[in-house]
Every structure is written in C-alpha cells, then in structure tokens.
Structure 1
C-alpha cells in the first residue's frame, strides 16, 4: 500500500478554496468600480455637483467637479474591491465600495441634470428614505416575530392593509388618531389570529394560508370601502393625522437632525420597536424561548416550553405590529383607498430575508429599500435618463444576491414553516 509523503500532503490555496466568498465579492466589486470609473467618468460633465446640507439649493454644500467625482469615487470602489482579496474587514470594505459606486453614479447623474438642478438636497433624501421605510420596518419586524417562532408570515401585506383600513375607519368615527392607532393594531392582530389558528391548530400550509389571507383582506376592505367610505367620505374616511414631533437640540444636527429628530410618531415608534425586539430576542428568556421554538421545537418542548403557546402569542403580536405600520399610511399622510399598500408587505418580506431574520438587519434592509424608492423619485425630478422601473428593481436584485449567499450566509430558522404536532 502506497504512502503519502509530507510534501505530497501540502494543499495549495486553490485546493482549499482560494476563491472564497470574500474574494469573489471583492473581484465583483472591483469590476463594478472599474466600470463606474470608465463609464460614469466618461458620461459625466464638468458641471459642479453639489450635495447640499439643507433641503434646497441654498446653504452649505459639498462641491465637486462631476467628471472628477465620478472617476474618484469609482476608483474608491475599485480599491475597496481589491482590498477585499486580503479577506479582512469584509463588511466595512463592502460598504465603502457600494457607497463609492453610488457616489460615482450620482456625480454622473447630477452633473448631467438641467441647469439649476445640479444638486442633491441631502436632508430631503434622508427624510424621504426614513418616511418610505416606515411601513417596511413594521412589516419586517412582524416577519421577524413570526418566523423566529417557526411560522412563515406571507400575510404581512394583508396585516398592513387591515391596519390602514381600521385606522382610517375607526379614527374617523372616533375623531381621534390615537383611537385609530389602537384599532389598526387590533385589525392587524385579527388577521394574525386567523393565520395562527389555521396554521398552528389545523396545520394548513403557512404560505398558502398567508396568500389566502391577503386576498381575503383585499376583498373585505375593498367591499367596505365602496359601501361606506366612498358613499360618505367625511363620516368614514377623513381620519385625523399625527403631526411631527421635534426633539430639541438633536434636530439641529446637520442632515440627520431634521430627518430623524423632527419627524412623526411612527418613525420614533419603529426605531424603538427595533431596539426592544432586538434586546428581547437576544437578551431575555422570552427571546431564548422564541428562538428555541423556531429552531428546535421538539427540544424546547422537552424542556417545558409551551411551543404552540409561544407561536400563538408571537404571531398575534406580529399582527399588531404590522397593523400599526399600516396605520402610518392613513393616520399620517392619506385617506384610505383600495389596495393602497400595493405590495409593500412583500417588500417587507424581502427586507426580512435581506436582513437575515434580525431586527437590526431588517431595519437596515428597509432603509435600503426606502433609499432606492427615494432615489427613484429624485432622479425623476431631475429628468434622469435612467428609467424609474430599473431603480425599483435594485433592492430585489440585492435580495437575490443576499439569498444566494454572495454577501453572507443567509439561513432561515430551522423550523420556519414546519408545523409542530405535540407528541
């Protein structure tokens, strides 16, 4: 029998996986940076690009030549990509590369805008990002609460829509935004109750049940909208609105202050819930039991955890959270209209996946989606040649990349979507 010498046992870097995830992403980022440097640098004009620190063209601003900026930021993205080949500081370098690529793109777009529009109001961009992300944050948190417990929540769309409807209807009839907010939470919880009963008690397929509930809520709210709200708008569909709440001193912080500390109740509540749910999941006994039920329900049951009770409780709580998110439409900006959520529940579900089933990850993913929407609005305002539909695709493409594992391993809780039958 032949033996293997010490020299023959040496494994080359390629054999042990030279093309690791970090290096693959680094090469891709470097290629994107080079593309930005060459293409955006060639297309950009020499117009001065301004990133204003106020919400208009006046006041302090950061200025750079359009062509120089496109090339400079493209080179930063390229350098970040090559630096990732060393397999160190993956997250920071990836973030730097993405920001560099984005700024290179913006230097091209803003420099090519019509005269008088060669600026980006950073306060408006940040404020719009947070505002558009609010319902997504609530929806994604609802998904975290459910799926960490082992229940797939495809019904986020219906929970948001019922919250918007209940908030508008009850808030108008009670002439109170606070009463409308409570009604929205109850409405979302009722949708979750149906999800919990049919999937936990009767073991109906969770994905199918979520889709059925979305269609049910769409039909019920549409019917009541036509029969009540359309016939008497003043009586049923003119809810009072929450105003902006200001935090002294903090609102004076440049860019972030006016957007984050001079805003509405829903954004404050969303950020508080992110912190509370994160601490609850990873620092409390409730969180430990929730995660145990979502990962190994049989083992949790043998230790005395009431698996079904935990799932019922968390699914109901998730519905209340999503209902409040739906109320952000009707108690903040608009009157209720049919199907006004328009797919935001599914975007929240994508944010949940992109955020790796974590409250803080879901928050960052929701902000990314909100920024993509706000960027589309801004580019439309400066008559960009980039179609808005293309920009709307970007968050979904990023989600696909995340699920594919190119920006990190993404794994749902082990028992997610699996019914539990107590032995």
Structure 2
C-alpha cells in the first residue's frame, strides 16, 4: 500500500443523510453577528459620535513615495460607515433566508469598514500613523506566529501542545545567554531552536511513550521552564548582565524596491532577519503540510493513527519527531524577544504569548495561514492599544486589551462556525 490510500473522501454527514430532498438549510449565525456589530456601530457613530477631523498618515518621513495624509470628517464618516454596515447585515440576512451562504469577502468587507470607522472615531482631531500601527502589529505578532506554527504541526500530528509558552520562554533565555557569550545573534538563534526542541523532547517522551495526559504535561512544563529561567535569571544573568544578558540584536534589513512601496514597504520589507525567516516559515509549513508526503503522513497520524499504522507509518516516531520540529519553530519565536525586540532577557517576558498562540491555532482551525492571520489579529489589537494611548484617544486601555479575546470568541461563534480539531489530538496511541 502507498500513502495515497490514506487520502480518502469524507463520508456524508448524518445530517446530510437524513435531510429531506429539496430542503433549504438556513444558517443565521453570521447575519446575527453582523447585525449585532452593526447596532454597536450605530451607537458608536450616532449617539456617541465625535466632532472633528481624523487624519490618517499613510507615509513615514523615510518613504521614497510620499502619500498625502487622508483627512476625514469624523462624524460624517461614521454616519456613512454605519449605513454601509446596516446594508451588509441586511444582505447577509437575505442570503441566509434564501439558503445561500454569506460569502467570506462580504464578512471581510464588513470587518474592514467597522475597523475603519472605529479608527476614524478614535482619532478625532488627531494624527493616526497607519504605517507605524501596522509595523507595530507585525512586530508583536512575530512570536505568536512562530508559536502558532509550532502548535499547528504538533496538534496536526496528534499531540496537544500546551507547552508553547515554555518553548517561547526557553528560546528567549537561551538565545540571550548564548548570543551574549558568543557575540553572534545567529548562534543565539540556533540555541533558541535547541531549547525549544529540548522542551518538546520532554513533552513527547511523557505524552507519547509514557501516555501521560498531554495537557497536564504541557502545564507542568510551562511552570517548570518559568521557574527555572526565573531562578537562573536571578542568580546568573542579573548579577552578570554585561557579559551574559547583553545579546547583539539583529539589524533591520531593507529590501531594495520592495521597501519603497507605500505603506506595505515600510511594514513588511524593512525588518530583521527573524521576521523574514517567519515569512519563509509560514509558506514552508503550509506547503509541507498540505502538498508533500511528509504532510500527508503527519495529518494521517493526527486523524486516524490506526489506519496510518496499518499502511506502515510509525505513529510514535512520527509524532515524536514532528513535536520536536514544532518546538524548534516555537523556539525561534522566543528568540525574537531577545534578539529582535527587547534586546535582553527578562523574567517571564513572554507574558502568556504561548497561550495566545494556542488560541490562534484553534481560531485558525489548525491551518498555518489562518493561524497566522489570527496571530496578526492579536498583534494588531495590542499595537492599536499603544497607538491610541499615544494620540490621547478616549478609549479605555482595558477595553483594548480585552478586544482581541472578545473578537476571537465572536468570530469562532459567528464566522468560523463549528470548529473541529484533528480527531486523534490529545489521544495516546497504543499499538494493538
């Protein structure tokens, strides 16, 4: 038998098997969510509307092509966007009533208009730097994206990776220590990958070989790494910070021509080596997962390990090595904290980024591209909080901190529909 035997067509769902011929299935989940946000938009732009002019700066001083700042009347723009939100919500209800699915582009347009309206409302009589906002969002998303990619690989092969937080923290610590000693950030990057692999070894050994509950092992590893790095920071790095906690940071690399593209060039193509490595990692993981034999074997083990074992795939070995690869990728995300962002290791500096990455994995339906977009959503909300605080927006910072989690819950309930992970994720496989 070959691996292609595993990629069989899916069986019809029970609901479809018992559906009456000619029956129209109506789902009002997305229209209801759109209507709720439309009502919120009406309240925000109507009774709570703000007077003034909102200026959106579209270029930085270093851009080769300078775009004229976009000035929008705050109140009038809010009224127009509120009307458009209501129209899209009505269209969604009409499509749902006729049994037609609401297209993704329509939901995306609704989200863009709502976001634009909120930005215009929040920046009344202020200057909102759009390139800086987007660049900050990307920077805050980098460790989340690396962690989410590691989580996708691990869970696709059947191991729930709650230890992403520990892998990020171990990568940050080891990259700072090794890069400080050697004076070479690339060596620190390799050390971060090794640290992530070591944490994954423990997760794989206990969950795959000794059949310990994967969630419990992950939680214990997070606590262990947090305590160990905190202790070593206090007794080793802190007293010798000049020699052991002063790693060289990666310099920004500007890509000719591409970096001169308005807005996009500043955000995407004036970045450090780790960010460019992240671009490659997202594409590589997607192609490898869905267009290679390795990806087919990995997904088969995560969906139906017994069937994979039947065709000669070594389930335990496949899970073990892929969990290790996932740890190496997550370790790269930890290195970004010390070699690309902060510049030195701090106690518990990941601040729960691993758990946010895990949420991005679920929100992204265990798909590397969708998980990346989900991580960017979290990063954008965090960047938006900082920018609005700087320009003096009346929006409470606590609300902005809560926003990405609220959006995640509503998106899963309203847009993503029923979410089902890999069938064998979290389930130990015992060879019969």
Q: Same fold (TM over 0.5)?
A: yes
For 1:7, the equivalent position in structure 2 comes to none
For 2:116, the equivalent position in structure 1 comes to 103
| Contact 1:143 1:318 (8 Å CA) reproduced | yes
Shift in Å, 1:206: 0.3
**Off by >6 Å, runs of 4+ in structure 1:** none
Structure 2 counterparts to residues 16-415 of structure 1, below 5 A: 17-18=25-26, 20=27, 23-55=28-60, 60-85=68-93, 86=95, 87-111=100-124, 113=125, 118-334=126-342, 335-404=344-413, 406-415=415-424
Query: Which whole-Å deviations, capped at 9, do the CAs of 1:290-349 have from their partners, x for residues lacking one?
Result: 000000000000000111111011100011101111000101122101100010000000
Shift in Å, 1:287: 0.3
> Any idea what SS the aligned residue of 1:409 has?
coil
Query: Which stretches in structure 1 are left out of the alignment for 5+ residues?
Result: 1-10
Quote the Cα distance in structure 2 between the aligned partners of 1:409 and 1:252.
42
> Any idea what SS the aligned residue of 1:332 has?
helix
| Contact 2:127 2:391 (8 Å CA) reproduced | no
Quote the Cα distance in structure 2 between the aligned partners of 1:37 and 1:55.
33
Change (3 A) 1:392 1:168: same
Quote the Cα distance in structure 1 between the aligned partners of 2:44 and 2:248.
50
| Contact 1:163 1:188 (8 Å CA) reproduced | yes
Shift in Å, 1:366: 0.7
Quote the Cα distance in structure 1 between the aligned partners of 2:411 and 2:34.
15
Quote the Cα distance in structure 1 between the aligned partners of 2:40 and 2:341.
40
| Contact 2:30 2:414 (8 Å CA) reproduced | no
Shift in Å, 1:34: 3.7
> Any idea what SS the aligned residue of 1:60 has?
coil
Shift in Å, 1:265: 1.3
| Contact 1:356 1:412 (8 Å CA) reproduced | yes
| Contact 2:33 2:410 (8 Å CA) reproduced | no
CA RMSD of aligned residues (A): 2.0
Query: Which whole-Å deviations, capped at 9, do the CAs of 1:127-150 have from their partners, x for residues lacking one?
Result: 011100000000000100100000
Quote the Cα distance in structure 2 between the aligned partners of 1:38 and 1:212.
46
Shift in Å, 1:73: 1.6
Quote the Cα distance in structure 2 between the aligned partners of 1:419 and 1:154.
15
Q: Identify the range of structure 1 (155-164 vs 395-404) with the bigger mean alpha-carbon deviation.
A: 395-404
| Contact 1:81 1:93 (8 Å CA) reproduced | no
> Any idea what SS the aligned residue of 2:46 has?
helix
Change (3 A) 1:296 1:402: farther
Shift in Å, 1:414: 0.3
Query: Which stretches in structure 2 are left out of the alignment for 5+ residues?
Result: 1-19
> Any idea what SS the aligned residue of 1:331 has?
helix
Query: Which whole-Å deviations, capped at 9, do the CAs of 1:352-388 have from their partners, x for residues lacking one?
Result: 1111100001110011111010111111112222221
| Contact 2:30 2:102 (8 Å CA) reproduced | no
Quote the Cα distance in structure 2 between the aligned partners of 1:404 and 1:70.
27
Q: Identify the range of structure 1 (267-276 vs 401-410) with the bigger mean alpha-carbon deviation.
A: 401-410
Shift in Å, 1:186: 0.2
